[in-house]
């Protein structure tokens, strides 16, 4: 990893390797925060075993960086993370979860709450790089206060054997959320479940989901937008099937509980066009290089 010195919280296996606290932010291991800040218990639900607690109290001038690594064989992480951003603060966060090697057979289970208080703004880049035999199951809930803004991007560059990714957004009054999921399947079983609750009046949000199924992958994505009051939401799910042994299931769901809400969706699953593939091969690219370029283009679309 580049600039490891700037990583604010770095955990390797079960050990906290580094905490780099900077002005405006409180960064602690979750078990310590549970003991130190009684109010945090309402969000942790139960005493955490491991994970990070980040409390952004004042405006910061650095991107928050966290890294959770599996470096030893057969490690089973059970993380509980909490990020709290105080009112009116704007934060960028780069969150990396990875395996140091390809064959560690690790388990990464992570639960977390991310609290954006009124007028707060968060750009959250969630990056996964796993080994072929890892089992990964993150479950994050974002709670958006009044007028808060969230831009969330998830990318799994190297997918694990199994990924269960659950994301819940609770949008408060006048809040906005923009969610982008880029999911690669490569010999993987992947289940994505994302739900956007438009809870506060005039809350709005979009979910964009792109899935690529390669090499015997089974991908399933259930995306829901639930409008409880006046609000707007849009769901865009796209799948690209690269090989004949992979499957992609997209289940978009819209639930409207208010006559004043406007929610829409579009969904499509396509395959690689033979004509496009042949065209690129006639430009000197091998079949694999051509497929990679088409997949890159698919993932770039609309970015």
Partner 1 sequence: MLLEVKNLKVKGNGKEILKGVDLKINSGEVQAFLGPNASGKSTLVQVILGNPKYKVIKGKIFFAGKEITKLLPEKRVKLGLALAWQTPPAVKGVKLSQLLEKISQRKDLQFEEGKGLLERETNVDFSGGEKKISELLQILALKPKLVIFDEIDSGLDLKKLEKVSKIIKKELVAKGVSVLLITHSGAILQFLKPKITNVMVDGRVICKEKDFRKVLKTIKKYGYEKCKKCKLLAN
CB 136, CB 126: distance < 8 Å: no
Q: How far is the CB of 238 from partner 1 (least distance, A)?
A: 11
Binding span for partner 1 by CB under 8 A among 44-52, 84-92, 200-208, 276-284: 276-284
Q: Which residues ranging from 1 to 20 are in contact with partner 1 (CB under 8 A)?
A: none
281 binds partner 1 (CB under 8 A): yes
The backbone torsions φ and ψ at residue 31, rounded to the nearest 5 degrees and listed phi first, read: -60, -35
Q: What is the rounded distance in angstroms from the CA atom of residue 157 to the CA atom of residue 136? A: 14
Does residue 271 belong to the site contacting partner 1 (CB under 8 A)?
Answer: no
Q: Which is nearer to partner 1, 3 or 282 (CB)?
A: 282
Kindly state whether residue 279 participates in binding partner 1, applying the rule CB under 8 A: yes
Q: Which CB atom, from 257 or from 286, has the smaller least distance to partner 1?
A: 286
Binding part of the chain for partner 1, among 57-65, 123-131, 172-180, 283-291 by CB under 8 A, reads 283-291
Check residue 275 for interaction with partner 1 (CB under 8 A).
yes
Task: Name the nearest CA neighbour of 66 among 134, 136, 114.
Answer: 114
Between CA 74 and CA 135 the distance in angstroms is 10
Per CB under 8 A, the list member of 21, 35, 253, 300 interacting with partner 1 is 300
* Residue 139 in tokens: 């479950």
DSSP string, 204-269: EEEEEEEEEEESS-EEEEEEEEEE-SSEEEEEEEEEEE-STT-EEEEEEEEEE--TT-EEEEEEEE
Task: Pick the stretch among 63-71, 106-114, 174-182, 295-303 that binds partner 1 (CB under 8 A).
Answer: 295-303
Stretch that binds partner 1, among 27-35, 94-102, 195-203, 291-299 (CB under 8 A): 291-299
Q: Which two tokens stand for residue 288?
A: 């694999």
**Does 282 participate in binding partner 1 (rule CB under 8 A)?**
yes
Name, in order, each residue with C-beta under 8 angstroms of 303's C-beta and a sequence gap of 6 or more. 180
What burial class does residue 26 get, using C-beta atoms within 10 Å of its C-beta: 0-12 exposed, 13-18 middle, 19+ buried? middle
The whole-angstrom separation of Cα 164 and Cα 162 is 7
* The only residue of 45, 253, 266, 289 in contact with partner 1, by rule CB under 8 A: 289
294 binds partner 1 (CB under 8 A): yes
Place of tokens 């283009």: 297
Compute the least distance from the CB of residue 20 to partner 1, in Å: 36
* Least gap, CB of 247 to partner 1 (angstroms): 23
Structure tokens that stand for 38 in this block: 């009684």
Instruction: Note whether 285 binds partner 1 by CB under 8 A.
Output: yes
Q: Does 274 bind partner 1 (CB under 8 A)?
A: yes
Asked whether position 283 contacts partner 1 by CB under 8 A, the answer is yes
Q: Does 298 bind partner 1 (CB under 8 A)?
A: yes
How far lies 210's CA from each of 88, 268, 295, in Å?
32, 10, 10
Number of residues near partner 1 (by CB under 8 A): 23
Binding site for partner 1 (CB under 8 A): 273-276, 278-287, 289, 293-294, 296-301
């Amino acid at each position: 990893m580049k600039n490891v010195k700037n990583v604010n919280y770095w955990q390797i296996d079960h050990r906290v390797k580094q905490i780099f606290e900077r002005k405006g932010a409180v960064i602690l291991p979750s078990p310590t925060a549970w003991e130190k800040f009684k109010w945090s218990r309402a969000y942790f639900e139960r005493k955490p075993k491991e994970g990070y607690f980040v409390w952004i109290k004042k405006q910061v001038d650095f991107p928050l960086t966290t890294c959770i690594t599996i470096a030893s064989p057969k490690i089973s992480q059970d993380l509980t993370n909490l990020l709290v951003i105080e009112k009116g603060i704007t934060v960028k966060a780069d969150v990396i979860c990875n395996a140091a090697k390809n064959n560690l057979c690790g388990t990464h289970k992570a639960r977390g709450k991310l609290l954006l208080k009124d007028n707060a703004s968060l750009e959250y880049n969630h990056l996964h790089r796993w080994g072929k035999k890892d089992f990964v199951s993150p479950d994050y809930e974002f709670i958006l206060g009044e007028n808060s803004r969230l831009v969330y991007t998830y990318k799994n560059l190297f997918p694990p054997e199994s990924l269960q990714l659950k994301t819940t957004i609770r949008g408060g009054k006048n809040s906005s959320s923009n969610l982008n999921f880029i999911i690669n399947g490569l010999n993987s079983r992947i289940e994505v479940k994302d739900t956007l609750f438009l809870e506060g009046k005039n809350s709005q949000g979009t979910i964009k989901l792109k899935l690529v199924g390669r090499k015997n992958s089974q991908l399933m994505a259930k995306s829901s937008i639930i409008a409880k009051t006046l609000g707007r939401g849009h769901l865009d799910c796209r799948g690209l099937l690269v090989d004949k042994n992979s499957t992609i299931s997209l289940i978009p769901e819209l639930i409207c509980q208010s006559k004043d809400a406007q929610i829409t969706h579009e969904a499509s699953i396509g395959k690689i066009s033979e004509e496009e593939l042949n065209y690129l091969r006639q430009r000197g690219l091998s079949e694999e290089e051509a497929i990679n370029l088409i997949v890159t283009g698919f993932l770039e679309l609309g970015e």
